[in-house]
Structure 1
Amino acid sequence: MTPPRALATPQPHDSVRNHSRVARVARVLSGVAAAAALVVGGVSAAVPAQAVVNPYMTYEGTSVNSANVPATTVDISTLTGVKFDRGTYYVNDVVQDGSIGGVGLAGNYYTGDGEVDLTGLYGSVKVVAKLYSGKYMVQSVTKYLRAVPIVTNTIPAGFPTAATTGVPDGVTLTPSTALDVWTPGAVLDGLDVQGCLSVHVPDVTVRNSRITCTDETLRAVSLTDAPGFVMEDSEIVSDGSAQVAIGWGGYTLRRVEIRGTQDGPRLGDNVSISDSYVHGLVRHDGVHTDAVQSTSGSGIVVRHNTLDPRQAGSDDFLNSAVQLGTETGLQRLENALFEGNFFNGGSYSVNVSCSANVRNVVFQGNAYGHGNRYGAAIAVPGVTFTQDRWVDTGNLIKVAPAC
């Protein structure tokens, strides 16, 4: 029986949760007005009573706390419960040329915008907003962001691309309708399948073929009692209709390009994916889109792939390149190796759920791009990261705690 689709539990660092967090910050933390006094030259000057709220900064509407911000000149907004009429930004304690202006009141927050020049910076950056009312400074707000290269979509040399995956150049495809395979050991070669593929028997091979599934179905390639399934030098394509590219277990992908599904491959038991390219996925309501995802499984090898769920030209980070949890089946994930891949996109490119029940889950020698919102990886302590590095600097990544 085909297991039902189960979504990975969204993490607090998913972009949807992030917006909720920012909204919560905007609520008044106390309904009681606080009277403040400013002492200047020994003379106390009364300041109007104001609601107690936490100050924060945003870039493009999202909190800058440890978030990725392009290393160029960007607009940063400061929001605070303290009334001010102007301000100045400092970056790593160096004053900026621009000033904070356009101050207005939004709900319980006074807000102001100003330019911050991050050109030439990389990694953690300290940003301080010094805020003034009249001739007095009334508040200093300090936050930290992550400055990253402007270009975040390039695939490094040596990793799979559309040119090295999918149907090889020169192959002539034979048109076909949707296929329902019941012959054990069948070989499908050189087909252009306009429809979805369902396999019900062991040891089926698909090569040099394209599966274009535009049905509103759970899986573009559906495997039921089909261990030993192999797909190589092929493509799985959708227009956003199919939820999962392929699932659930007992399959091997080699040099496969996957695009246009809502989620990429689902990793169940005994799955191997190598030299493949998963990209250009489609967000739907209720789906936290991932290049690969597991909600339970064992015997998983994901080696030398390019995994980036984002669509070219979109500013949607989507959820992750790798999402791991244990919400279905035996509710455990064990003996899983992710080695020598290039990960990009997502709130975190690798996201292991706080509640995940894991054993022997290893990330080894993977490279990470800067197209993620918050960082390379977030995981529980039972997941091992060895020699995983940022692709441009070669620095080891930092893994954020999931709990």
Structure 2
Amino acid sequence: MKHRGKAVLLMAATIVAFFAAPANADDSVSLWSDADTPGTIDVDDSSAVELGTLFRSDVGGTVTGVRFYKSAANTGPHTGSLWTGDGDRLAQVTFTGETASGWQTAAFAQPVPIDADRDYVVSYHTTTGHYSADNNGFAQARDSGPLHAPADTPDRFNGRFRYGPGGFPTSTWASTNYWVDVTFTPTPTIPEEPPVQTGFPNADNTGVPAGVTLTPFTEPCNFHTDNQVIDRKIVDCADGIQVYAGNVTFRNSVINRAIETNAAGASITIVDSEVRAGATSWAAVSGTDVTVLRSEITGGQHSVRCDGDCLVQDSYLHDQFNDPNSSFGYHNNGFLSNGGSGMVLRHNTLWCTPLDNEIGGGCSTNLSLFGDFAPITNVTVENNYFHATPAAYCGSFGYNPGKTHGDNPSGVVVRDNVFERGPSGHCGGVGPVTSFLTTGPGNVWTGNTWSDGGTVDPA
């Protein structure tokens, strides 16, 4: 950038890590977090100037305001603007209640809708100069979740300025980043069906096989007979399904209620079936000694809740229920254990889908292992597809020191799983994985990758 005929050389700032956390406590996202700071906080230039950043979003949503980094000498006043890429102003706001320095934020009177994959410019005007700036800051693109500020090129320049009383900034110099940011709230959308990789379970390759004829199940819904087989049935039980016997099998069937083992020695196998638990705070499938094979599980607060000795394989867990009228916020999970041993999850698609609601409800993770009532031990999680989720993380693996039995999960083997990046770029809103204790006895993390390539690490 040329400052009134003389070149000012600025130290190049260190490029901070991509996918910064949201700047605000709400659902908005920004290009930088409050922890990010300029390399050059105060440029010795007292001219009035408009400074801006070109950006776009992968998804539609609303721009709620403007942010900029302020030096102590940049006393203003300051106004912020949002522009189309062609220079039409969409909104303007005057900054009030500023602090002496640091990040400043002003909210527009009304959120401004923007389209996906379209260029916009966010800017602010200072009458006193002394702005923050780092040359070469846009030598590389800046990416944060769905937001992208492209690298400065002759055809698509970034790091913009305009001297004078204000207006659309159209000049650039040395790919300089002037630390102008946006607050953006993505429109919450979840596709009806996940774009899973070829070979992973989905609605087309799980559940009742094509050509099977179903008839109503007319026997009692409390199962007390060992080795009972329910085959090719539609099972409707108004109060849910309680299994008291061993080795009860549901095969080629549609089960329209939640199902649970409810006695010592009870066990169930669900194979080539569909569990449609619907609007209930019970887990769709729960208990001890549970086997789920090639089945589709929907509804319920959790798809599967295991207390120990469970095998879930080649199955599709999704679309849990979160009660919007409850007095407290339910947390949902694809697979949940609050403590137990002997669990295997192999070649499933795991997807927690409910969005956060106003009472604190929403997804915990696709797969949650918590040491609440017993230690987490001897768990194998292999070759699963972790679908991108509205939750903070896609998987939580048992190390929760604040819980009664969360200090030392052991024998937790997580290998050869695939994590979808999704809108956030890292599967969950914060990251792919949390609470994996790498030093725990018998714990193994290996071969876990992103769906578009690259290694997923447990930290």
Find the residue that maps to 2:303 and give its secondary structure.
coil
Larger radius of gyration: 2
Quote the offset at 1:212 in angstroms: 0.6
Note the 1:221-236 alignment, pairs <5 A: 221-236=260-275
Note the 1:93-132 alignment, pairs <5 A: 101-104=91-94, 109-111=105-107, 131-132=124-125
- Decide which of 355, 360, 383 is 2:411's aligned counterpart: 360
Q: Establish whether residue 395 from structure 1 lines up as the match of residue 454 from structure 2.
A: yes
- CA deviations on 1:127-176 (whole Å, 9 max, x unpaired) are x9764323636557998613599997311110011111111111111213
Note the 1:251-266 alignment, pairs <5 A: 251-266=290-305
- Decide which of 117, 127, 133 is 1:134's aligned counterpart: 127
- Decide which of 57, 71, 75 is 2:58's aligned counterpart: 71
Match of 2:425 in 1: none
Q: Quick one: structure 1 residues 229 and 20, their matched pair in 2 at CA, closer, same or farther if it must change by over 3 Å? A: farther
Match of 2:371 in 1: 326
Q: Quick one: structure 1 residues 161 and 380, their matched pair in 2 at CA, closer, same or farther if it must change by over 3 Å? A: closer
Q: TM-score, normalised by structure 1?
A: 0.68
8 A Cα contact 2:93 2:106, kept in partner: yes
Quote the offset at 1:253 in angstroms: 0.7
Match of 1:174 in 2: 215
- CA deviations on 1:225-268 (whole Å, 9 max, x unpaired) are 24442110111102222420111211111011111222110122
Which letter does structure 1 place at the counterpart of 2:78?
A: F
Which letter does structure 2 place at the counterpart of 1:133?
A: T
- CA deviations on 1:42-71 (whole Å, 9 max, x unpaired) are x799xxxxxxxxxxxxx9xxxxxxxxx963
Quote the offset at 1:277 in angstroms: 0.4
Match of 2:186 in 1: none
Note the 1:46-57 alignment, pairs <5 A: none
Quote the offset at 1:97 in angstroms: 6.8
Find the residue that maps to 1:318 and give its secondary structure.
strand
Match of 2:432 in 1: 376
Provide the rounded CA distance (Å) in 2 between the counterparts of 1:272 and 1:236.
16
Q: Quick one: structure 1 residues 253 and 130, their matched pair in 2 at CA, closer, same or farther if it must change by over 3 Å? A: same
Structure 1: state its 5+ residue gaps.
1-17, 24-37, 46-58, 60-68, 90-95, 121-127, 214-218
Match of 1:54 in 2: none
Q: Quick one: structure 1 residues 71 and 204, their matched pair in 2 at CA, closer, same or farther if it must change by over 3 Å? A: same
Provide the rounded CA distance (Å) in 2 between the counterparts of 1:283 and 1:134.
51
Aligned length: 329
Q: Establish whether residue 304 from structure 1 lines up as the match of residue 364 from structure 2.
A: no
- Decide which of 163, 187, 190 is 2:204's aligned counterpart: 163
Q: CA RMSD in A?
A: 4.4
Match of 1:200 in 2: 244
Q: Quick one: structure 1 residues 107 and 201, their matched pair in 2 at CA, closer, same or farther if it must change by over 3 Å? A: farther
Q: Quick one: structure 1 residues 255 and 378, their matched pair in 2 at CA, closer, same or farther if it must change by over 3 Å? A: same
8 A Cα contact 1:131 1:140, kept in partner: no
Quote the offset at 1:193 in angstroms: 0.8
Find the residue that maps to 1:198 and give its secondary structure.
strand
Quote the offset at 1:79 in angstroms: 4.4
- CA deviations on 1:335-388 (whole Å, 9 max, x unpaired) are 101000001113211124533341121210001112332232122334542111
Note the 1:341-360 alignment, pairs <5 A: 341-344=384-387, 345=389, 346-352=391-397, 354-355=400-401, 356=406, 357-360=408-411
Quote the offset at 1:208 in angstroms: 0.9
Structure 2: state its 5+ residue gaps.
1-21, 28-41, 49-54, 71-76, 99-104, 149-188, 423-427
Q: Quick one: structure 1 residues 72 and 207, their matched pair in 2 at CA, closer, same or farther if it must change by over 3 Å? A: closer
Match of 2:337 in 1: 294
Provide the rounded CA distance (Å) in 2 between the counterparts of 1:220 and 1:106.
57
8 A Cα contact 1:118 1:147, kept in partner: no
Provide the rounded CA distance (Å) in 2 between the counterparts of 1:250 and 1:241.
22
Q: TM-score, normalised by structure 2?
A: 0.60
Higher share in strand: 1
Provide the rounded CA distance (Å) in 2 between the counterparts of 1:155 and 1:133.
49
Which letter does structure 2 place at the counterpart of 1:360?
A: G
Provide the rounded CA distance (Å) in 1 between the counterparts of 2:376 and 2:271.
26
8 A Cα contact 2:244 2:266, kept in partner: no
Which letter does structure 2 place at the counterpart of 1:155?
A: V
Quote the offset at 1:88 in angstroms: 8.3
Q: Establish whether residue 145 from structure 1 lines up as the match of residue 163 from structure 2.
A: no
